[in-house]
Structure 1
């Protein structure tokens, strides 16, 4: 029943998933949003919520536009389920803004396969990742995905020189903004985020349990994903490989993240949602997929009640 409902991409699916996300966002931010009400804080949280909703639909657009998955609602459903399972993520506006910028970048990188306005796409992708790093430093690692896209689609020397130009453009804009606004330079220490490799927070059941479930889902769906990649056409394989590289890069971002509270996993949820969607789009194991989907939907609902 659930797979039949979310296996189709209809407006009602998007509305239901959006309402689900809004409810959990309000619960996670209720104290800061209402009990400690300030108009500026309220508007800031509203912008964060809209950015998170937009992230889900940009993800859906990327997958549909590049035919990475079938036309189902699984992608945005999984992204919302994973995000709603970690309240710290729903409170971290820096990670949410950075993830949205990374999504804009991935959209441009994967669309390089069309071979249209390619140099502009390379510049845009690098630009967005640099903007993301201003919110969340370690998202700069996604530049690896940009260079992989160049290697797959446009391995000419001049294309390799475009990302440094985009980096310099963002650096210049950032410096000018800080000089005009704060009358001082933007320093490396303000940009860089130290990592202390402290994973003690992962012992908290609120993080450990959903993380364990998500990792188990990751390993299970990756087995199916590799089979799909092997059978994919020559034109489709690079895009699927970029999704896999994004997943590995997101792991690195989580490892180096300065705070380990679950919010660092948002970058991981984007490629995982695509990979999991590819598995659920298949027609086999229908009963198992039905049970698994029900358990995943219950995950963000049950954790706050139990813990």
Structure 2
């Protein structure tokens, strides 16, 4: 049933997955979250709900524009299921904002394969990620994706390697100017604290369970996704290679950004969704695929009953 419904790309599918995500988020927020029912809490809930639903629309646009799957809604479905596995109430508004901005950067980077307006796309991608790092500092690690994009799609022009630095400089100048206008002074220099590997937050099941779940999916799905393109010429493997490397960068951020939080693992959701969808559309006629999709659908609710 699910495979038949989402085997096509229809606006109604977007409505279904958005309602599902909103339902899971509402359950998280009002039953497991301790933020209360203040006006600010309600406004924060509405803002995060709107951003999460917008991210679904953005993922759908990225997939259709760059042909990351066939004409179906499996990527959007996988994205919502994986996002729902996170304890969304443990996410911060700044982390969700950073996630959406990074998706906007990925949209520009994946389109580099057309080799049109390469420098503009690189500037835009680095610009969005730099702004995302102002919202949540860990998002800055996604700048690796910009340079990997240059390496994969157009490494021959040395100027492409310099463009991201100009974008970062532009964001830095805008930030300093804005800070000066608001505070009538420039930000003070600060001393970096000693970095230490802190996994204390992962002792919390609401953080540990989704992380282990995403790790298992990465180990299983990413190799199958890459092997699915083994018969395609190398020149056409560039986008799949970028998705694989995006998952690798997301894990670097998840492990390297301390202390570990759900904000750290949210960047894994998009590349894993593409991998899951690719495997689904290649096996959609098999009964096991339908069973797995239903398991994905019910698992977020089952996890919340146990945790």
- Is the TM value for this pair above 0.5? yes
Query: Counterpart of 2:126?
Result: 126
CA contact (8 A) 2:87 2:207 kept: no
- CA deviations over 1:79-133 (Å, ceiling 9, x no partner): 2222222225664112111111111111111111112222111110110110111
The 5-angstrom pairing of residues 1-307 of structure 1 reads 1-30=1-30, 35-38=36-39, 40-88=40-88, 91-155=91-155, 156-186=157-187, 189=190, 196-283=196-283, 286-307=286-307
Aligned pair count reads 305
CA 1:116–1:194 in structure 2 vs 1: closer, same or farther (change >3 Å)?
farther
C-alpha distance after superposition, 1:215-272 (max 9, x if no partner): 3222222232121232234443111111111100000111122332433211011111
SS of aligned partner of 1:231: coil
- Which consecutive unaligned segments of at least 5 residues does structure 1 have? none
User: Which structure 2 residue ranges, 5 or more long, are not aligned?
Assistant: none
Do the aligned partners of 2:3 and 2:284 also contact (CA within 8 Å) in 1? no
Counterpart secondary structure, 2:72? coil
Question: How many angstroms apart in 2 are the aligned matches of 1:188 and 1:106?
Answer: 32
Q: Distance in 2 between matches of 1:244 and 1:193?
A: 32
Q: Secondary structure at the match of 1:72?
A: coil
**Cα distance between partner residues in 2 of 1:279 and 1:188:** 49
Comparing 151-160 and 291-300, the one that deviates more? 151-160
- Secondary structure at the aligned position of 1:161 is classed as helix
- Cα distance in 2 between the residues matched to 1:154 and 1:168: 22
C-alpha change, 1:193 and 1:132, in structure 2 (3 Å) is farther
Instruction: Report the aligned-residue RMSD.
Output: 2.4
- Partner secondary structure for residue 282 of structure 2: coil
TM-score (norm: length of structure 2): 0.90
